[in-house]
Amino acid sequence: MRRCLYAALALLATLSVSPAEQAIVPPFERESWPVAPTLIDTHVLAALKARGIEPAHPCSDAVFARRVYLDVIGTLPGPAELRAFLGDARPGKRAALIDALLEREEFADYWVMKWCDLLRVKAEFPIKLWPNAAQAYHHWIRESIRLNKPYDTFVRELLTSSGSNFRVAPVNFYRAMPSRAPEGIARTVALTFMGARLEKWPADRQAEMSKFFSLVGFKATSEWKEEIVFFDVIRARTQPAATNWPATFPDGSPVKADPGRDGRQVFADWLVKADNPWFARNIVNRTWSWFLGRGIIHEPDDIRPDNPPSNPALLAYLEREFVASGYNQKHIFRLILNSRTYQLSSIPGSNAPPDAAGFAYYPRRRLDAEVLIDALCQVTGTTESYVSPIPEPFTYIPPEHRSVALPDGSITSSFLDLFGRPARDTGLESERNNSITAAQRLHLLNSGHIQYKIENGPALQSLLKARQRPADVASELYLAILSRYPTAGELKTMDAYAQSGAASGREAAVDLAWALINSDEFLYRH
Amino acid sequence: MSEQAMTKNTDLERWTARMITRRQVLKAGLFGAAGLLLCDRLLPRVLAGTANGPAVRPAKARAVIQVWLWGGPPHLDTFDPKPDAGEAYSGPFKHPIATNVDGIRICELLPLLAKQADKYSLIRSMTHGNNGHETAAYMVQTGWPSGGRVVHPTLGAVVSLFKGYDAGYKGLIPPYVVLTQPQGRFSEAGFLPSRYKPFATGGDPAARRFAVEGIVAPGISDERQKSRQALLGNLNTLRSVSNDAEAAASVKAEKEAYDLILGDAGKAFDLAQESDEVRTRYGRSTFGASCLVARRLVERGVPYITINSGGWDTHKENFQAMRRMLPQLDMGLASLLEDLSQLGLLDSTVVWCGGEFGRTPRVDVAPPWNGGRGHYGKVFSALVAGGGFKGGRVVGASDARGEEVKERPVYPCDLLASIYELLGIDPAASLSHPEGYAVPLTPSAQDGAQVGGRLTEIM
């Protein structure tokens, strides 16, 4: 009863506010679209129309630049790059920027971090890959992403590799699992590559899927912490029952494989087929959620029949494109990033809640912990130091190394922990927590750590020293911190602050930098 | 969480969902909303005690002060002196002193603690056998043997779960505070969400102004703080045009932060409010001032405070170090016990003092050690007081040279289970791992732990 009432109220709210009444907000929005609509937009708009929800306005060029830098390479645009982009009058400049960012070195750093969360890359317990194996694994994932390895090849290598954890890096996939029992392996494989929670399946289907992983062997060598992952041929020969593959795959199609073959390969052959109902769906749905804040199926790693997609046509379209492109991840990135849907303003055009809004605006999200500290370092010209004292030998990370590119999730950092870095224990998307807390605000508003960066950071210092006119200082700070020029109103506020006597000269400029760093506009992707 | 989502969940998940709703209703203070947006699978779920677990008595204690002597204090030079073992063992400290309890003697450098012995009990048979700092620190503070694939939460994180915002704690100061530096991963929350980790104050409580990280900024006056706040309000352009849930969460977090920066709660850390006499009695050292801050936090209802005191890893020149450090420990800890008792807070506050292990009873005389002591996990001491622990007792004993447990071995899980019981937390309860299975709060023999039983003789 109450639910009906809420639904009715929500509907009323969405009908009563239309963008026709809602004026554009200049620094964040623009009147007209600089890009053409795509098929993604057709699907999204059709769903919005059916629900009577108005999409937000187009985002401004400055907002687009900041957004696409943060989303694609996890890095703020530098003031020079930004000036060039904003001053560029060519109509195709947004697409050109997307293409350029997809080829940057930072692209690999940022997306490796994402994959290391999902694949649980960390040296210490409970996963215990150990530092050199974690480094090898991180390097292998980075090379795969840098070279844009086709996704089916990437997954097949993770699933079927055999050898030493130091020399054949992808075998660490099996070592970084919470459980090495066949059911445990099956659970991790289903979660990672099918976006499915095996524990929600009927028991007999769980048991069938586990059988493909019943002969994965692990053995130590005489080298410290080396471990070989292999298909246990001896057990396959001596225990023929262990290679009696189940009659059907998880989708019900029949298994036709020689007994005695490596079950991991039998499973991988089935998984990466074009018509597999989970494989492409899982990755395009996750990709969508990485850019648009929610999966078309949500949670993005909880695909099951009773959790249907909010926009089935859109999901099916992305799946077709992915398979037709030869499992090219960057193709899907390009499709999404070039759509008007992705380039909507973050100021909603209606009051519909996010789960009902159908991607009618770009969702604001607090910066990832690593991205945030890198942004603070970039703006102020400072560095962080990371050490992993356990286990020996100590790992010292060079100061210029960015936090996004840390290879090992168990490197201790109270800042990263405070801002929701995942522990990399479960591989769940929800393990990363980007909600904002009072403790985080305390740290940013008032800690010695951040205070030191703002007061003493060489990049801010030289910016303040090189310019005399307060308006010039303000413009430079806005470009560096918020990736846009200040509005006339903001310049006036700043002038008034400098005149008020609350702080003068350099102090006033420091306070301005402090305020911009503490604004929602800096702390969020928007 | 929408009602629709709830209908899909199991009973347990629904229980958690209710917990969240309740917390939202309570509008918990500082860190309470930290995990609201976490997926419900990541929330710890507290299960009922097992059928064969003992019934839990009502809580006697509502707070814990953990005085953590990181590095491993020498048991022979503190609470388990062995003058009869000869100088090769006792070193220069050959004349332990009587306390105000007949038959209990402690190191001669602890005269003030000697006058408070009726308030505390000494456990002289702590043991776990591990000589590695990190592993031993993990074992002592989680109660679990190391090496499993599950990382267990420490006592402090568990108390912050059971006595913090989820349990109705409403203070602006976080429920689990560490003075001043965190221990790193062993003060961590284990598999519990990170909001159960301690808030580390940083700074130095013995300094003229205790710069508590995030709460008291060095060099920023209250006026400049307020004008900055106003400037931020005027320049928060994106927020001024947004009115959705994310903007509301940001506004709320900022308001709570400013309540602590500008409000009265942060005054708990301001030792200028104490008289010179009191500050001198605790000692002007970082340790003494930390004890005084801990007392002030307990007075304000903070349920768990760790004083993380380093410098106890005395491989070299142990006795010089003890001459320097024991008087600080003596002044700070004795004053803390005395004040808690006078304020009527000792009955409801557990004070636990100890380190991750003891130190080798036989002195390393030769260079480069020059009278040092090594790591010793086979037997060590701990002091417990208040919150339902009786005073004036000794639990267990080491042998004549302090090398072996002679009677009543006490394992870390025994001590922790006893503290849980005093806090009204069922030691047999389970926590839910993010992957969905139940993990007992304290280990049993089946988990590979050695168990000697709770400290019923002093409870």
ipTM comes to 0.90
- Among all residues of chain B, which has the CA nearest to that of A498? B231
CA B372 – CA B315 distance, rounded (Å): 5
Q: Tell whether B231 lies on the interface with A, counting CB pairs under 8 A.
A: yes
CB contact under 8 Å between B238 and A306, yes or no, is no
Mean pLDDT to the nearest integer, B276-281: 97
Q: Tell whether B164 lies on the interface with A, counting CB pairs under 8 A.
A: no
- Cβ contacts of A440 on chain B, cutoff 8 Å: 253
Closest C-alpha to B289, from B210, B200, B216: B210
Give A169→chain B minimum CA distance, Å. 21
- Residue type present at position A219: K
CB contact under 8 Å between B253 and A440, yes or no, is yes
Q: Tell whether B34 lies on the interface with A, counting CB pairs under 8 A.
A: yes
CB contact under 8 Å between B214 and A447, yes or no, is yes
CB contact under 8 Å between B224 and A503, yes or no, is yes
Q: Tell whether B244 lies on the interface with A, counting CB pairs under 8 A.
A: yes
Residue B49, both tokens: 């005690």
CB contact under 8 Å between A442 and B260, yes or no, is yes
Q: What is the pLDDT of residue A391?
A: 63
Q: Are B177 and B293 in contact (CB under 8 A)?
A: no
3-state SS assignment for residue A223: coil
Give pLDDT tens digits along chain A (526 positions): 344 444 444 444 444 444 446 789 999 999 999 999 999 999 999 999 999 999 999 999 999 999 999 999 999 999 999 999 999 999 999 999 999 999 999 999 999 999 999 999 998 766 678 888 999 999 999 999 999 999 999 999 999 999 999 999 999 999 999 889 999 999 999 999 999 999 899 999 999 999 999 999 999 999 988 999 999 988 888 887 777 788 899 999 999 888 788 999 999 999 999 999 999 999 999 999 999 999 999 999 999 999 999 999 999 999 999 999 999 999 999 999 999 999 999 999 887 776 677 899 999 999 999 999 999 999 999 999 998 766 666 778 899 999 999 988 888 888 998 899 998 888 999 889 999 988 899 999 999 899 999 999 999 998 888 777 888 899 999 999 999 999 999 999 999 998 888 777 788 899 999 999 999 999 999 9
Q: Tell whether B184 lies on the interface with A, counting CB pairs under 8 A.
A: yes
CB contact under 8 Å between B38 and A199, yes or no, is no
- Among all residues of chain B, which has the CA nearest to that of A365? B246
Q: Are A65 and A479 in contact (CB under 8 A)?
A: no
3-state SS assignment for residue B83: helix
CB contact under 8 Å between A433 and B224, yes or no, is no
CB contact under 8 Å between A437 and B253, yes or no, is yes
Strand partners, B179: B307
Q: What is the pLDDT of residue B32?
A: 34
CB contact under 8 Å between A520 and B223, yes or no, is no
The model carries a pTM of: 0.83
- Cβ contacts of B242 on chain A, cutoff 8 Å: 346-347, 364, 520
Q: What are phi and psi of B435, to 5 degrees?
A: -85, 5
Q: Tell whether B435 lies on the interface with A, counting CB pairs under 8 A.
A: yes
Q: What is the pLDDT of residue A328?
A: 98
Q: What is the pLDDT of residue A390?
A: 62
CB contact under 8 Å between A364 and B42, yes or no, is no
Give B39→chain A minimum CA distance, Å. 6
Closest C-alpha to B46, from B172, B135, B163: B163
DSSP type of residue A394 = P
- Among all residues of chain B, which has the CA nearest to that of A419? B194
- Among all residues of chain A, which has the CA nearest to that of B225? A446
Mutate which of B1, B212, B232, B243 to test chain A, going by most A C-beta atoms within 10 A? B232
Mutate which of A183, A188, A435 to test chain B, going by most B C-beta atoms within 10 A? A435
Mutate which of B250, B260, B439 to test chain A, going by most A C-beta atoms within 10 A? B250
Mutate which of B138, B170, B194 to test chain A, going by most A C-beta atoms within 10 A? B194
- Cβ contacts of B225 on chain A, cutoff 8 Å: 446
CA A372 – CA A517 distance, rounded (Å): 10
Mutate which of B134, B144, B238, B254 to test chain A, going by most A C-beta atoms within 10 A? B238
Q: What is the largest CA-CA distance in chain B?
A: 78
CB contact under 8 Å between B214 and A436, yes or no, is no
Closest C-alpha to A431, from A74, A119, A172, A142: A119
> H or E stretch including B415?
helix B412-422
CA A323 – CA A30 distance, rounded (Å): 35
CB contact under 8 Å between B249 and A3, yes or no, is no
pLDDT digits (tens, 9 = 90+) for B76-124: 999 999 999 999 999 999 999 999 999 999 999 999 999 999 999 999 9
CB contact under 8 Å between B228 and A412, yes or no, is no
CA A382 – CA A359 distance, rounded (Å): 37
Mean pLDDT to the nearest integer, B156-160: 95
CB contact under 8 Å between B197 and A441, yes or no, is no
CB contact under 8 Å between B228 and A3, yes or no, is no
- Cβ contacts of B436 on chain A, cutoff 8 Å: 199
Helices (H), A388-487: 414-418, 438-446, 448-456, 458-466, 470-477
Q: Which residue has the tokens 């402690």?
A: B106
Give A426→chain B minimum CA distance, Å. 7
- Among all residues of chain B, which has the CA nearest to that of A3? B3
CB contact under 8 Å between B245 and A524, yes or no, is no
Direct distance between the N- and C-terminal alpha carbons of chain B, in angstroms, rounded to an integer:
43
- Cβ contacts of B220 on chain A, cutoff 8 Å: 446, 451
Peptide bond into A37 cis (omega under 30): no
- Cβ contacts of B195 on chain A, cutoff 8 Å: 437
CA distances to A56, A321, B72, B334, B427 from A288, in Å: 18, 13, 52, 60, 44
CA A416 – CA A377 distance, rounded (Å): 14
Query: Is residue B12 predicted with pLDDT exceeding 50?
Result: no
Closest partner CB to A514 (pick from B228, B253, B254): B228
Percent of chain B with pLDDT over 70: 86
Direct distance between the N- and C-terminal alpha carbons of chain A, in angstroms, rounded to an integer:
36
CA A509 – CA A517 distance, rounded (Å): 12
CB contact under 8 Å between A519 and B235, yes or no, is yes
- Cβ contacts of B204 on chain A, cutoff 8 Å: none
CB contact under 8 Å between B250 and A27, yes or no, is no
Residue contacts between A and B (CB atoms, under 8 Å) = 198
Closest partner CB to A520 (pick from B29, B39, B250): B250
Peptide bond into B180 cis (omega under 30): yes
Q: Tell whether B204 lies on the interface with A, counting CB pairs under 8 A.
A: no
CB contact under 8 Å between A445 and B194, yes or no, is no
Residue A200: alpha-carbon gap to chain centroid: 25
Q: What is the largest CA-CA distance in chain A?
A: 86
Q: Tell whether B397 lies on the interface with A, counting CB pairs under 8 A.
A: no
Name the CATH architecture for the domain at B62-210+270-458: 3-Layer(aba) Sandwich (3.40)
Closest partner CB to A126 (pick from B30, B36, B151): B151
Query: Is residue B417 predicted with pLDDT exceeding 50?
Result: yes
Mutate which of B199, B213, B216 to test chain A, going by most A C-beta atoms within 10 A? B213
CA B289 – CA B180 distance, rounded (Å): 11
Residue A140: alpha-carbon gap to chain centroid: 19
- Cβ contacts of B215 on chain A, cutoff 8 Å: 442, 446
Q: What is the pLDDT of residue B235?
A: 94
> H or E stretch including B156?
helix B155-163
Per the prediction, chain B carries an average pLDDT of 86
